[in-house]
């Protein structure tokens, strides 16, 4: 007797049986998400120090550069957290949200430069 011959369960049991089926595209989707998160994190780790370095040593030393650095300090982990959470990776999204909260104090310090 194959699965096509079995009657389909309805209601709650049917939804649970469908939810337990393995999605064959899940590993590829997860890998793609991790690559995007890695790209966002690396861009964040490179952009913030470059903005700070330019703000401290550049010709046009102004508050706009430091404001952009402070905004980018918070934006990078927040964007990664949103991407992870939208793709149902709640633990990873939570880690990025905690990182965003930890970056509030450095962002405030950057705006005072």
The band of 8, judged by pLDDT with boundaries at 50, 70 and 90, is: low
Contact assessment for residue 93 and residue 38, using Cβ atoms and an 8 Å cutoff: no
pLDDT value at residue 15:
73
Tens of pLDDT along 84-109?
Answer: 999 989 999 999 999 999 999 999 99
Torsion of CA 99, 102, 106, 107, to 10 degrees: 70
Contact criterion met (CB below 8 Å) for 100 and 77: yes
Q: Average the pLDDT over 11-15 and give the result.
A: 77
Report pLDDT digits (tens) over 22-45.
Answer: 777 778 888 999 999 999 999 999
Please classify residue 24 by burial: count the beta carbons closer than 10 Å to its beta carbon, then call 0-12 exposed, 13-18 middle and 19+ buried.
exposed
Taking only the tens place, the pLDDT of each residue in 66-85 is 999 999 999 999 999 999 99
Tell me how far apart the alpha carbons of residues 94 and 82 are, in angstroms, rounded to a whole number: 9
């Amino acid at each position: 007797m194959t699965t096509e011959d079995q009657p389909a369960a309805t209601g709650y049991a049917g939804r649970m049986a469908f939810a337990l089926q393995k999605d064959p595209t899940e590993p590829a989707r997860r890998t793609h998400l991790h690559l995007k998160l890695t790209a966002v994190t690396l861009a964040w780790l490179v952009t913030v120090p470059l903005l700070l370095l330019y703000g401290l040593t550049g010709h046009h030393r102004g508050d706009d550069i430091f404001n952009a650095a402070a905004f980018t300090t918070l934006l990078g982990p927040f964007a990664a957290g949103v991407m992870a959470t939208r793709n149902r990776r709640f633990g990873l999204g939570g880690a990025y949200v905690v990182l965003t909260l930890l970056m509030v104090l450095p962002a405030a310090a950057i705006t005072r430069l």
